[in-house]
Structure 1
Amino acid sequence: MQQPSRPKTRRKYDADFKNEVVKMLANGQTAAYVSKALGVSENLIYRWKNQTQGVRKVISEQSELALENQQLKDRVRQLETEREILKKALSIFSRQT
């Protein structure tokens, strides 16, 4: 007698599990080994790895933009100070005549 077939359900993995799998790859373990050890398909492991790299790239770009933004703010502050000094110097020299 045949068992009634059950529909396949998708397993859900939390972010910590995904991060640990990616760390295992970063530590030199192969995707095939991790796949067999944890019962997760290799394709899924590679997808998690690519997503993690994408997130790291975005974070890197954001930190570069934040650094550039801070440098520009510092430059604006410096230029405003110089402008104020020049205004004061102009008012001093224009009074003396």
Structure 2
Amino acid sequence: MALKDYSDEFRADAVALYESTPGATYKGIAADLAVSRGSLREWVVRARAQRGEAPGRPP
């Protein structure tokens, strides 16, 4: 399976969508965006680390 290269803007938008959707799951958002669950999770973890936040789901 070939790896896809997603733009920084796409990744940021995906993270924003996940974080702003109440009750969202990695699986659900990833399916909506046609990306892997693991990729979305990694993008969220990295974005939170860059902001100095813990990797868990926000309240």
Bucket of the pairwise TM-score, normalised by the shorter protein: 0.7 to 0.9
In the TM superposition, structure 1's runs of 4+ consecutive aligned residues that sit over 3 Å from their partners are none
Q: How many pairs were matched up?
A: 51
Q: Please identify which structure carries the higher helix content.
A: 1
Between the aligned partners of 1:39 and 1:55, the Cα distance in structure 2 is 25
Return 5+ residue gaps in structure 2 as ranges. Answer: 53-59
Return 5+ residue gaps in structure 1 as ranges. Answer: 1-7, 58-97
Larger Rg: 1
Indicate whether 1:38 and 2:38 are aligned.
no
Tell me the TM-score normalized by structure 2.
0.74
1:54-84 superposed Cα distances (whole Å, 9 cap, x missing partner): 1111xxxxxxxxxxxxxxxxxxxxxxxxxxx
Identity of aligned residues (%): 18
Between the aligned partners of 1:18 and 1:46, the Cα distance in structure 2 is 11
RMSD: 1.6
Q: Secondary structure at the match of 1:52?
A: helix
1:22-62 superposed Cα distances (whole Å, 9 cap, x missing partner): 001111232221111111111111100000011111xxxxx
Tell me the TM-score normalized by structure 1.
0.48
**Cross-structure match for 1:52:** 47
